[in-house]
Structures are given as structure tokens and as C-alpha cells.
Chain A
Amino acid sequence: MIAAQTLAIARNTFREAVRDRVLYNLVAFAVILIASALLFGEISIGVEKTILINIGLSSISVFGLLIAIFLGIGLVHKEIDKRSLYSLLSKPIHRWQFVVGKFLGLNLTLLVNTLFMSMGLWGALYYLTRSFQPEDVYIWTAIYFILLELFLVTAVCLFFSCFSTPILSAIFTFLIYVVGSAASDVRDFGTLTKNPLLESLTTAIYYLLPNFSDFSVAGAVSHGLPVGSHLILLNTAYAVCYASMLVIAAVWIFSKRDLK
């Protein structure tokens, strides 16, 4: 019963998201950008396929990030603003179900969008090479890692949207993404100073921030190099643990929030 209710919220979140025209524009733009990689490869030497895969994967990642942020920031705020949340919570539904349902719904939207953008990438790749090579299968690993990254971004966005305005949530999420992408550099900076206090502080920040750089394997797969199953498992576990932490925090904040 509880699971069915939560899934119903997720389904409605997905339905609401796919009605948004901005979403289609972003996906269409990403597919056009991927196709344009065919032209970009023409002005370089010997790396047409590498460039196509890199542009394709980066487009999926960047546009996925934009979709996650634009849809994620309004997840809670829109429901409060339209007062639809009150009618929903007047039913026998827990607040945590609302938060988890929204989270799952947004991730379903991102999964479908990513699949559409991936089709654009595979189509462009086939147009360029006229055949697929066995090592091309590793591109799916990179796409899966992008999905894990978006999974984390959605969790960050949901967390902020539970207590902040949409604009501030977007800014906070983007900043977390930027700093999280350079998390290892922050730790390295502390190590370089050789100051034990600063080193401990930067190490703490490193473990506190979501580490987005570990999901970047586009460079390897664009050269046909495999990604180890151990890394796939570890990255999956990391994304699940970290996103769970944020969703739990979001649920806690939302449960304490005075909605009157």
C-alpha cells in the first residue's frame, strides 16, 4: 500500500515533467549538438570517433544536469505554490512518501531523457562508422555513470528544494556540482600545504561533498578502454549511499517544516 502510493507520486511527477516543453527543447538541443559532433570531427585529425563520443557523453551529462536542476528546484516549491501539496497531504500519505515519490519520479524522467539522448549518440556513431565495434559497448558504462551522477544531483536538488526557494536551490546545487567535480583537488590542496589542520579540514570537505569526478570515464571509453566491474559496483554503491543520505535529510527537513 505504502509502496503503491509512493510509486503513484513518482508516476505523477514523471507525467508532470514530460508535459514541460522546456524538457523537449533541451533534449532536442542535446541531440542536435551530438549530431553536430560529426562536423566538429572533420576539422581535426584522426579522432572523429573519439570527438563524437566525447561530445555525445558531455552533452548527455550537461543537458541531464540542466534538466535535473530545472525540474528538481520546483519539486517541492511548485506543489506548495499551487497548494496541491495540501490536498495531497490531507490523504493518508506520509510526508516522506511525498519526498521519495518526487525523487523517484524525477529520476525516472532523467532516465527516459538520457535514453533519448543516448539514441542520438548511437545514431550519430552509426552514421560515422557504419558499424559498431565490440568496445563500443563500454559507452553504456559511461552513460550509466552519467545517470548515477544525475541521481546524485537530483538528491542534492531535492535536499535544497525542501527548505529553500527555487532560485537559491538552483544556485546551491550548481555550486555543489562545481565544487564536487573538483573535490579531489580540494583534498590535494590541503595535502600540499603540509598543515595538519588544513589537511584534516580539506579531507573532511572531500568526504562531505559529493564526488562527481569519479563518474567521469568518457576519456577511457572514447578510446575503447574498458571500465572495470569493480569500479561500476563501487560507484553504484557510493551514489546509492550518498543519495540516500541526502534524501533522508530532505525527508527529515520536510517533516519538520511548518506548511501552514
Chain B
Amino acid sequence: MAPTLGLLLAAWGASALVQMSVDREMARYRESPEILWISSGKVLRTLSLGHQSLLADVYWTRTVQYYGSRLRDHKTDFSLLGPLLDITVTLDPQLTVAYYFGSIFLSEKPPRGAGDPKHAIALLQHGIVANPDEWRLWHHLGFLYYWELRDYVRAAAAYQAGAKNPKARDWMKVMAAAITEKGGNLQTSLFLWSRIYDSTEDPTIRKNAAGHIDGIKAQIDMEAIEKRAQQFQEQNGRWPASIAEMVSHGLLPGVPVDAAGFPYRLKPDGTAALNPASTVTLDYNHSPAPPRAPAP
């Protein structure tokens, strides 16, 4: 019995060792290029033999895995993201999570997304036609026009159209009016990103929204610091040397910190900046723009 067991263990150990060598040898053969063999959702729908919704789930999972792996590997090319999402929603037009995910990550600039807001808009418009009750799709469409394209006229029109849905929240009307009146500003942007954060349970979308919210809040904080610095300059005839000096003069209750917990810096010309070690990213660095004239 013991010799047999010994032989079995030895054989198993040897096979495991050989398998490890084979794995190392096979690694270079397994690296295949990312290709969509069938790029048409309509063809796949026919080939699915009535199981198109299951196939949509498979493609949706593949989309999520594709995006996650590109992000993990710090790759900036998301060329398959759009086609994968198109196939997914062609197979299952009611899979609303794909429109929400797609609208964010198709439009986000690399390295966060594909940087293709027009494709994202087309995807959302497809979603709105297929899901007329989903008023949040209008919110995402308006948001894309507002945030990515800075097209405040179309953004306001999208919020207005979405507000007509009986299930839509009241703030959709408020947003339409606010964007028409003020165009882009930090408070509006903060409000819209917060709505995106609150309206989803998708951890990837939430993490992305949280990053933008932190960035906008930092921008608001820095504007407030700069105002106080201006006040200091008017009182003392020079720019403050540091934020701590402003605190000692009673202009600030304490040294403010950003969402990552790092204190802000003050430059010699009185402008505020993020701590170099901070993980917060600023992506809203333009002055509020006036509303554009309506498109002809």
C-alpha cells in the first residue's frame, strides 16, 4: 500500500512540475490579439437561436472584463469598448446598465476611457428609443453634452426632454433652467456628478464619479482660498507666504485639506494648488462659460 501511495505521489509531483514548465513555454502562444470575430450584433442575434439575452449577458461581461483589464494594465487604447457595447445593446436593448456604463467610459478621455463622446451619445440615443421610460438616460445624455462637449444648448434640451417623463425627478427641470441660464459652472458640475454617483450601484461608475466629485470640490476649495488670499493682499499689500499665515490672520479657520487628506498649497502669486502627493485629479480647469446661441 505504502509503495503504491509513494509512486502515486511521485507521479503527481512530476506531472505538476512538468505542467509548470509547459505553462511557461505556452505563455507566449496564449497571448492572442483582442479581436471581435463577429462584429455585428444582428448576425449574433440570428446565430443565438433565440438565446440572444443570454448572449448579451456574455458580451456585457466581456465588456466589463475588457475595460477592467485595460485599466489594470494602464493601456490607453479602448478601441473594442464601443463595438462590444453596441453588440451588447443590439442583443438586449433593455440592458440599461450597458448604456450607463458606456456613456461614461466611452466618453471619458484616456486613460479613463475611450475618449469618444459622439459614440457615447449615439449609444444613449439608441437606449432612449429602446427604453422610453428610463428618464435617467436623458440625464446621462444631457450630462454628456454638458461635461464632454460643453454644448449647453443641447444639454439643456436633453434635460428638458427628460423632465417631460412623468417618472423624472424635479431637479431635471431645474438643471435645464440652470444650464440655459449659466452654462457650465462648478456647482452645476458638482450637482450633476453627485446625481450620477447616487443613481448607480455600479462600483466602477461610482468610483469614477467620486474621482470627479473630489476634483470639483478641490477646485471649489481652491477658488475660496484664492479669494481669501486676494483679501489678504488687499489688507497687507502683499500675497500671503502660506495658507498657515492666512489662518493666523483669521482669514481661514484652519489649513484646508483635499479629499485625499493632503493640505492645499499656496503659490507666491496667490493662486492655490494641490499638494504634489495628492491623488485628487483636477479636470475642470476652465472658467464658467456663457450659454451658447441656439443651434440653427
- Contact status B49-A177, CB under 8 Å: yes
Contact of A46 among B46, B51, B53, B202 (CB under 8 A): B202
Contact among A51, A216, A220 with B51 in the assembled complex (CB-CB below 8 Å): A216
Chain A residues lying within 8 Å of B94, measured Cβ to Cβ, are 219-220, 223, 225
A120 to chain B, nearest CB (A): 16
User: Is A45 a contact of B64 with CB atoms below 8 Å?
Assistant: yes
Which residues of chain A come closer than 8 Å to B200, judged between CB atoms? 46
Best-buried of B51, B101, B203 by chain A (most CB within 10 Å): B51
Q: Does B50 contact A (CB under 8 A)?
A: yes
B65 within 8 A of A: yes
Measured between beta carbons, the chain B residues less than 8 angstroms from A222 are 53
CB contacts under 8 Å to A, within B55-113, are 56-57, 60-61, 64-65, 92, 94-97, 101
Do A223 and B95 touch across chains, with their CB atoms under 8 A apart? yes
Q: How many residues of A contact B (CB 8 A)?
A: 29
User: A181 touching B97 by the CB < 8 A rule?
Assistant: no
Determine if A171 is an interface residue (Cβ-Cβ < 8 Å). no
Contact partners of B54 in chain A: CB under 8 A: 54-55, 57-58, 218
- Per-residue CB contact flags for chain A residues 28-69 toward chain B (1 = under 8 Å, else 0) read 000000000000100111110011001101100110000000
A212 contacts chain B at the CB level, 8 A cutoff: yes
Looking at the assembled complex, report how far the CB atom of A66 sits from the nearest CB atom of chain B, in whole angstroms. Answer: 13
Cβ–Cβ < 8 Å partners of A51 in chain B: 57, 61
B187 contacts partner chain A, Cβ-Cβ < 8 Å: no
Instruction: Evaluate contact between A178 and B50: CB separation under 8 angstroms.
Output: no
Contact A44 B53 (CB under 8 A): no
Is B204 in contact with chain A by the CB < 8 A criterion? yes
User: In the docked arrangement, what's the CA distance between A215 and B263, Å?
Assistant: 62
Contact across chains for A47 and B60 when beta carbons are under 8 A apart = yes
The docked-state distance in angstroms from the alpha carbon of A88 to that of B101 is 63
Interface residue? A236 (CB, 8 A)? no
A5 at interface by CB-CB < 8 Å: no
Check B204–A45 contact: CB distance below 8 A: yes
Is B57 in contact with A181, judged by CB distance below 8 angstroms?
no
Q: Is A135 an interface residue (CB 8 A)?
A: no
When C-beta atoms are compared, the residue in chain B nearest to A55 turns out to be B54
- A219–B64 touching, CB < 8 Å: no
B160 lies within 8 A of chain A by Cβ: no
Given contacts A46-B202, A223-B95, contact A61 B101 (CB under 8 A): no
Interface contact B46-A45, CB-CB below 8 Å: no
Q: In the complex the two chains form, is A45's CB within 8 Å of B50's CB?
A: no
Q: Does A85 contact B (CB under 8 A)?
A: no
**Given that A185-B46, A219-B92, A225-B94 are known contacts, is A45 also in contact with B202, CB under 8 Å in the complex?**
yes
**CA of A10 to CA of B203, assembled, Å:** 54
User: A219 to chain B: which residues have CB within 8 Å?
Assistant: 52-53, 56, 92, 94
Tell me the complex Cα distance, A51–B97, Å: 13
Most A CB atoms within 10 A — which of B49, B65, B203? B49
Residues of A near B50 (CB, < 8 A) are 61, 181, 212-213, 215-216
Which of B94, B96, B202 counts the most A-chain CB atoms under 10 A from its CB? Answer: B94
Quick check: B95 and A218 within 8 Å, CB to CB? no
A212-253 CB mask vs B (1 if < 8 Å, else 0) is: 110110111011010000000000000000000000000000
Q: Mind listing 7 A-B residue pairs with CB under 8 Å? A: A46-B200, A50-B95, A216-B53, A219-B52, A219-B53, A219-B92, A223-B95
**Which A residues have a C-beta under 8 Å from some C-beta of B?**
40, 43-47, 50-51, 54-55, 57-58, 61-62, 177-178, 181-182, 185, 212-213, 215-216, 218-220, 222-223, 225
Since A46-B200, A46-B201, A47-B95 are in contact, a sample of 13 more A-B pairs with Cβ atoms closer than 8 Å, ordered by chain A residue number, is A45-B204, A50-B57, A54-B57, A55-B54, A55-B57, A58-B51, A177-B49, A185-B46, A215-B50, A216-B50, A216-B52, A218-B53, A223-B95
